[in-house]
Copies of this chain bind each other. A is one copy, B any other.
Amino acid sequence: MYKLIHKDKNSAARLGRLTTAHGQIDTPVFMPVGTHGTVKGITPKELDDCGAQIMLSNAYHLFLRPGLDIIKKAGGLHKFISWDKPILTDSGGYQIFSLALLRKLTDKGVEFQSHIDGKKHFLTPDDVLDIQLTLGSDIIMPLDECAHYPCSRDHAEVAMKRTIAWAKQARKSFEHKKTGKQALFGIIQGATYDDLRQECAKEIIDMDFDGLAIGGVSVGEPSDLIYNTIESVAKILPEEKARYVMGVGYPPDILEAVERGVDMFDCVAPTRLGRNGTAFTSKGKLIIRNACFQEDFGPLDASCTCYTCKNFTRAYLRHLFYAEEMLGLILLSAHNIYFFLDMMRNVRKAITEDKFVPFKKDFLEIYNKG
C-alpha cells in the first residue's frame, strides 16, 4: 500500500504515497484526530477544505458509543460520519489503559469497565480487529500494550512481549478476514529500552504488516528520549513500508521524526489547544486571551492562508473567547488543523527538492524565536 517516491539527499526524510480504498495519501502526513467520529469543532467539509487527507478515529470510543451495531447499520464509519476519505482507527489499547476502569490484562486480552457507564467488557486481539473491520477502517491498528513513562524494564518487557503475542494473533486472523484494501499495521513497543525496541521491531517486521507503527512514545518522556527511540527503530524498518509514530506531536517533534524517516503522525493538540485559546503559528504558540491582542487587528499568522486568517483578526478572536462564543473555538481549531496540514505540505515540497534540512532549520528558528 506504500510507495516510496523520493528520499531526501541530506536526511532520512522520505516522500511517499499510501493507497487505500478511499483514496491516496501523500506522506509525510498529519492525521487530524476525530476520536468520536468528529474532529472537534470542525465540519467534515471544513476538514476537507483544510486539505486533510485522512482522519484518525478511535475504535474503543466508537465501540462503547454509539456502538458497533449502529455504525454497521449506517453502512460503516465513513458513511456514519460523512467522511469519504481514508480513516485510520486506533485500537484504543492506549485508551483502555488510560481511561477505562478496573482493567485486567491477561495474554488472552483485556477486561475493563467502560469509562462511560461502568459496563464490563472483555476484548481479545481478535475482537479489536473485528471491531475495526466492521467500522470499515482503511488502516487498522492491532491491540497492543502501551507502557507509561517512567516504566521499569521488567514491566516494559512484559508489555512488549504481550504486544508481540497479540500482534501475531491479529496478523493471523487478518489474513483470513480482511476485505478489499483494508490495511493492518504492526505496533512496536519497548518503552525507552533500546534493546527491547530492537527485539520488538524485528519480531513485528517479520510478521509482514502493511505498515509499521512506533507506539508508546511521547507518553511523558523527555524529547531526546523520544527522538532516540524513533531514530533507533526507524533505522531498521524496511524501506517499503509506511512508518507511523503514534500520538506525535507538536511541530518540532514532527519535524524531528520526519528527519528520521517517519511518514505518518497524529496528535490532538491542534483541536485541544485551539479549544483552550492557543493558536499554532509560524512564530510559535499564541495565547489569544493575552491583553496584547486586544487591539491587534492582524491575523493569527500573517503567513497563513486559512479561512480564519483570511477573515478574522486577533482582536475579534480574543473577543469571541472572552464572550465565550463557540466561534472562537471553531476558528482556532480550524486554523490549527490547517497550520499542521500546511506545514506537512511544505515538508513534502522540501523533501521533493532535497531541502528538508534547511527547511526544518528555518522553520524551527522562526517557530522557537516567536
Contacts and interface: CB of A to CB of B under 8 A. Distances in A.
Contacts of A325: 36, 38, 40
Contact of A311 (B74, B82, B319, B329): B82
Copies assembled:
2
A38 to B, nearest CB: 4
Interface residues of A, number: 40
A330 B43 contact: yes
A44 interface: yes
A70 interface: yes
Given A70-B295, A322-B66, A323-B65, A81 B316 contact: yes
Interface of A: 36-38, 40-45, 61, 65-66, 69-70, 73-75, 80-82, 294-295, 297, 307, 311-313, 315-316, 318-320, 322-323, 325-327, 329-331
Which 10 residue pairs of A and B lie closest in terms of their CB atoms, listed nearest first? Answer: A36-B323, A66-B319, A82-B311, A38-B327, A41-B326, A38-B325, A80-B316, A82-B312, A36-B325, A74-B297
14 contacts: A36-B323, A37-B316, A40-B327, A43-B330, A66-B319, A66-B322, A69-B295, A70-B315, A70-B319, A73-B295, A74-B297, A80-B316, A326-B326, A330-B330
Given A36-B319, A38-B325, 19 more contacts: A36-B320, A38-B320, A38-B326, A40-B325, A41-B326, A41-B330, A42-B327, A43-B327, A43-B331, A45-B307, A45-B311, A66-B315, A66-B318, A70-B315, A70-B319, A74-B313, A74-B316, A80-B315, A82-B311
